[in-house]
Amino acid sequence: MSTISKKICLIGDYGVGKTSLIRRFVDRQFSDKYLSTVGVKISRKSIELSDSEQQKNITLQLLIWDIEGSTKFKGISASYFQGAKGAIIVGDVTRPESLENISEHIKAFSKVNPQGKTVVALNKSDLIDAEYLEKYCQLYSFSDNNSFVSTYASSAKSGTNVDEIFTTLAHSII
Ligand code: GDP
Ligand code: MG
C-alpha cells in the first residue's frame, strides 16, 4: 500500500459554502454560523482509492486549501493555485451571479494548472426545488474545458453529494 499527497483548492465567490463543504467532508459537521476563513487554511483528509490497473489500494492524502472569501476571481492570486492537481469550483444556487462566475474560476485555475482537474459544486441544493437543480446542472457543465470532470448539486447542510464531489476529484487526479 502506498500513500500519496495531492493539493486541491476550493474556489468560488464569498459565502457560497467552500468552508462548509470542507467542514462537512473532513469533520462531518455543519454550522449555520458564518465560518470566516482568515487568509488560507489547509485541511488534510486521507481517502482509500482502489487502483484497478495495478490491483492495489492507494491511500490518497488530500491537502485541501481554503481561501478567505473573495468576490472577484481576479482577486485570487496565482500562488493559491500553484501546485494544485485539482479544484472544486463552488457556486450558490440561491445566488445566480455566483454561478455565472464559475466558468471564469475554471479558466483561472486551468491557466495556472493546465493538467489540473475541476469538479463543479452547485451548493445549497437544500434551498431550491429539484427541477431547478437539474436545469442548473445541465447549464453549468463545461465539457469544452479539458479540466472539467463533472457537476454536482451539493449541500454542505444535508451532506448530499459532498463525499461524491471530493472522491470524484480524487479519482480524476491520480
Ligand atoms: P465560504 O465563504 O464560501 O467559505 O462560505 P461558508 O462555508 O462560510 O458558508 C456561508 C454561509 O452559507 C454560512 O452561513 C453557511 O452556514 C451557509 N451554507 C453553506 N453551505 C450551505 C448549504 O449547503 N445549505 C445551506 N442551507 N446553507 C449553507
Ligand atoms: Mg470560507
Mean pLDDT to the nearest integer, 123-130: 97
Q: Please tell me the predicted confidence (pLDDT) of residue 37.
A: 67
C-alpha torsion angle, residues 50, 56, 57, 61 (rounded to 10): -100
Q: Is the pLDDT of residue 124 over 90?
A: yes
Residue nearest to atom 25 of ligand 1 (CA): 124
Mean pLDDT to the nearest integer, 108-124: 97
Residue nearest to atom 14 of ligand 1 (CA): 34
Q: Please tell me the predicted confidence (pLDDT) of residue 40.
A: 87
Distance, CA of 29 to CA of 157 (rounded, Å) = 8
On whether the pTM is more than 0.85, the answer is yes
72 contacts: CB under 8 Å, gap ≥ 6: none
- CA 52–ligand 2 middle distance (angstroms): 36
Which ligand lies nearest the alpha carbon of 39?
A: 2
Q: Is the pLDDT of residue 153 over 90?
A: yes
**CB of 15 shorter than 6 A to ligand 1:** yes
**CB of 68 shorter than 6 A to ligand 1:** no
- CA 16–ligand 1 middle distance (angstroms): 6
Residue nearest to atom 26 of ligand 1 (CA): 124
When the pLDDT of each residue in the chain is averaged and rounded to a whole number, the result is: 91
Question: DSSP label at 94?
Answer: T
Residue nearest to atom 20 of ligand 1 (CA): 17
Q: Which of 68-77, 121-130, 154-163 has the lowest mean pLDDT?
A: 68-77
Cell representation of residue 97: 451571479
**CB of 35 shorter than 6 A to ligand 1:** yes
Q: Please tell me the predicted confidence (pLDDT) of residue 145.
A: 92
Q: Please tell me the predicted confidence (pLDDT) of residue 75.
A: 61
Q: Is the pLDDT of residue 1 over 80?
A: no
Tens digit of each residue's pLDDT (9 = 90 or more) over 40-95: 899 999 999 887 777 788 899 999 999 876 555 556 778 899 999 999 999 999 99
The residue type at 147: S
Confidence of residue 122 (pLDDT cuts 50, 70, 90): very high
